[in-house]
Amino acid sequence: MPTQITYLHDGSFEGMLTAVAIAVKSNNEVEGIYPSQHYASSLFTDVHNVQTDQSQAMRFFKYLQSLKGIAASLAIDGFLSENDEMATHLYCMVRESLQYGESVLYWHTHDSVNFLHKLSRKVRREAHRFNGLVRFRILEDGLQYAPFEPDYNVIGYCAQHFRKRLANYSWVLHDVRRNQALYWDGSSCQSIYIDEGFSSQVRTSGELPQKHLCQSEIHYQRLWNYFHEAIAIKERRNPLLQRQYMPSRYWKYLPEIS
C-alpha cells in the first residue's frame, strides 16, 4: 500500500516548485504540499521536508511553460495568492496533464483546475484594480512614494504597470502589509528595504507624516479633498453602492477619502 506523504517546502516559489516536482515523480499517495511555516503536524501522515533545488525547480517550470504557458501562469498566480492549498492543487493538475495532455488545463469542472483558475482570476483582478487605485505622494526629495495593502502579493504586477506609466520618474511602490517595496530609478526596478517602524506608522495612520511630504504635495492633497467634497451631492450619497464598486478596504490610502 502506498505511503501517504505530506511534502513541506520553505515558502519560496522555487521551493514550492521543487516540492511539487518531487511529489509528481514519487509513487507515494500525496496528502498535501504546504509551506512548512503554515503546516500543523498530523499523526496520520509522514512528513518530508523538501530542500529547495533551483535546477529542479527550473526544469519543472519549463515543463509548465511547455503547456502553452497557461500552467506556468496558474502556478505563478497561485503562489502570489499565498493560498496554502494551491501547491496540492497544482500537483493534482500536473498529474492529470501527464496522463491526458494540456487539454486538462481547460477542464473547468475538475476541482484542482477550477481552483487554480479562480485563484488566478482573483490575483489578476486585484492587480488591475490597484493599477487605478494606487496613489503616489511626492516626498520632500522629489521621490514618488505609494503605499498600499493588497490581499494578494501583486506588487510585481503593479510595478510592471507603473514602469510603463511613470517610466521617467523615480518612485517606490510599498506593500505595507508585507513590508515589501520596489524602487524604480528610471531604468531598472529593484527590491529595497523599508524600516519596519516607518512601515508600521504608515500602516496605522494610512498616510505619511507631513514632514516627509513636499509642500506642493500637501497643497494638492488639500485641493483634491476640497474638489472631492465640492462635487459630491450630499442628498445622493449611497455608501452601500460606493462599497459595491470600490470596497472600503481600498479607501485607506486614498487622499480624496481621508
DSSP 61-119: HHHHHHTTTHHHHHHHHHHHTT-TTHHHHHHHHHHHHHHH-GGGGG-TTSHHHHHHHHH
Are residues 176 and 69 part of one domain?
A: no
Are residues 154 and 106 part of one domain?
A: no
Are residues 139 and 210 part of one domain?
A: yes
Are residues 157 and 57 part of one domain?
A: no
Are residues 140 and 111 part of one domain?
A: no
C-alpha dihedral (105, 31, 83, 49), degrees to nearest 10: -120
Which domain does 25 fall in, by range?
4-125
Nearest one of 35, 49, 188, 20 to 112, comparing CA atoms: 20
Are residues 247 and 145 part of one domain?
A: yes
Are residues 115 and 57 part of one domain?
A: yes
Q: Could you tell me which residues come within 8 angstroms of residue 161 by beta carbon, excluding any fewer than 6 positions away? A: 127, 131
Domain count, the chain: 2
Residue where one domain finishes, among candidates 98, 125, 152: 125
- Phi then psi for residue 216, to 5 deg, are -65, -35
CB count in 10 Å sphere of residue 69 = 11
Question: In the predicted model, what is the mean pLDDT of residues 212-217?
Answer: 89
Are residues 91 and 162 part of one domain?
A: no
Give me the count of residues in the chain: 258
Percent of the residues in the chain that have a pLDDT greater than 90, as a whole number: 66
Of the pLDDT bands very low, low, confident and very high (cuts 50, 70, 90), residue 193 is very high
Residue where one domain finishes, among candidates 100, 125, 150: 125
Could you read off the pLDDT of 95-147 as tens digits, one per residue?
A: 999 999 889 999 999 999 999 999 999 999 999 999 999 999 999 999 999 99
Are residues 182 and 118 part of one domain?
A: no
Residue where one domain finishes, among candidates 84, 108, 125: 125
